[in-house]
Amino acid sequence: MASDKLERRDFLKITAAATVAGAAMRMASPRALASSTEGSSPHKWVMIIDQEKCVGCGQCVLACRANNDVPPEISWTRVLKVGKSGDRDVFLPRPCMHCDNAPCVEVCPVKASYKRADGIVMMDYDRCIGCRYCEVACPYGARAFNWKSFTEPNPAVPTWGEPGVERRPRGVVEKCSFCYNRIDRGLEMGLVPGEDPNATPACVVACPMGARLFGDLNDPESQVSKILANSPAAYRLRADLGTEPRVYYLPIRSGGYSEVELEEVTP
């Protein structure tokens, strides 16, 4: 498909250049947190994905589906096979980038897409009219349209977690939220997102290789701050667009690199 070719060209270009859980969470609704867009926040949440460590197991995808009650035909986070380093495959996990300058927020005619004070890009599913402008505007393919009501049992539950948010209705666009409900609940309990599993996005907790890291970039003592301060090769997808994504990648650091046909991992 043409869209797949565009995606392959963009992401392989970036990758080649860069390289050559615990306690149950309460059910949460994004609308209840709309007030968090007001004022300021001491936090700047970011995610780091280490391509050297990612083995493409897809456990992050399954944990996301379980904890966010995502239907099997939709992925809020995707894992793409983008190249080879010697005999091993190179993967590019791709959640929502939670851009500081989010095109999806700018184009939404009803303000269903909005950004919290801490930078998390959210969806108000009660406001969404299903126009899909945000889906088209996102340069990362991070959004999916909900074509039907999800009424069946979730096959990822309970093996990969329990839902912590409400199911979305038919006819809305849905996306990764950095597991905001886990972050907010964790902060209320005095936990540290990125350090305490119950306050950290499910995909980060589920990764058996430690390929995903999460934390507060405003905290100079956080793991993510220290890693990015000492990783000059760290990069962000389509940074040339000025979107200022909050997901950073650490490229592979061993062996050569060669492109392969873009392929999505299906867990």
Residue of 29 and 153 predicted with greater confidence: 153
Q: Indicate whether 212 pLDDT > 60.
A: yes
The whole-angstrom separation of Cα 171 and Cα 234 is: 37
When pLDDT is cut at 50, 70 and 90, the band that residue 86 belongs to is confident
Residue 31 has pLDDT above 80, yes or no: no
Question: Please, what are the domains in the chain?
Answer: 2-264 (3.30.70.20)
